[in-house]
Amino acid sequence: MNIHTSLKIILADSIIGTVLPEIALLDLPNWWLAGGAVRNTVWCSMFGTECGLVINDFDIAFFDDGGNRSQELAAKATLTAKFPDYVFDIKNQCSFARWRDGRRTYSSVEDGIKDWLHTATAVGVKIDTQGEWQFFTPYGLDDLFAGIIRPTPAHTHNPNADKKASGFLEKCSCLRFISHSRVVNNQESV
């Protein structure tokens, strides 16, 4: 079984398997579900009760040159009505830099996801119009399946990446944090 099949099995057997088809029905242009919902679902599946990470929200990134904030808000309202117990963070990566200080302009949704803090967070999943699962994994899946928190190249020296990693380690001690060629949590170097 390949690593994408393993990822699909884990996600399909979670709340993501229920939410993903509903996201697809929104028909957002070039969208991906990525971030903590994917990462935490995998880590909780792998480490069980030793991992206290939960899905805080569903990060849905899309790209629409003509889109605006009302498009994001409408999609969020639709999903919240269907899943009132969950939080949805829906962002048009095309306009993200216009209203979020300190962000660069992205050329695609994939460009935006590549710029997320950690490699295990920069993993996208979606279902296409035929119901087939698709994956966007710019840094591969090795870190995700090894329980490694590693800053993406753009955030190697970003103190926010280290701070966020510390929070992950507090909730899931099975993880390893690799930053600037050092390993945190008394694990051997990778």
pLDDT mean over 25-52? 95
pTM of the entire structure? 0.90
Whether 39 contacts 117, CB under 8 Å:
no
Q: Residue 65's pLDDT is what?
A: 87
pLDDT value at 184 more than 60? no
CA distance 76 to 132: 23
Q: Are 151 and 117 in contact (CB under 8 A)?
A: yes
Q: How confident is the model at residue 188 (pLDDT cuts 50, 70, 90)?
A: very low
Q: Residue 183 above 60 pLDDT?
A: no
Q: Tell whether the torsion through CA atoms of 186, 43, 62 and 81 is positive or negative.
A: negative
Residue that is written with structure tokens 């899309």 in the block: 62
Residues 58-82, mean pLDDT to the nearest whole number: 92
pLDDT grade for 1, boundaries at 50, 70 and 90: confident
Reported as a single tens digit per residue, the pLDDT across 92-106 is 988 765 545 555 678
DSSP class of 62: E
Q: Over range 54-80, report the average pLDDT.
A: 92
**DSSP letter assigned to residue 183:** E
**Long-range own/partner contacts, residues 11-15 (CB < 8 A, 24 or more apart):** 11/38, 11/41, 11/42, 11/125, 12/133, 14/41, 14/45, 15/41, 15/55, 15/86
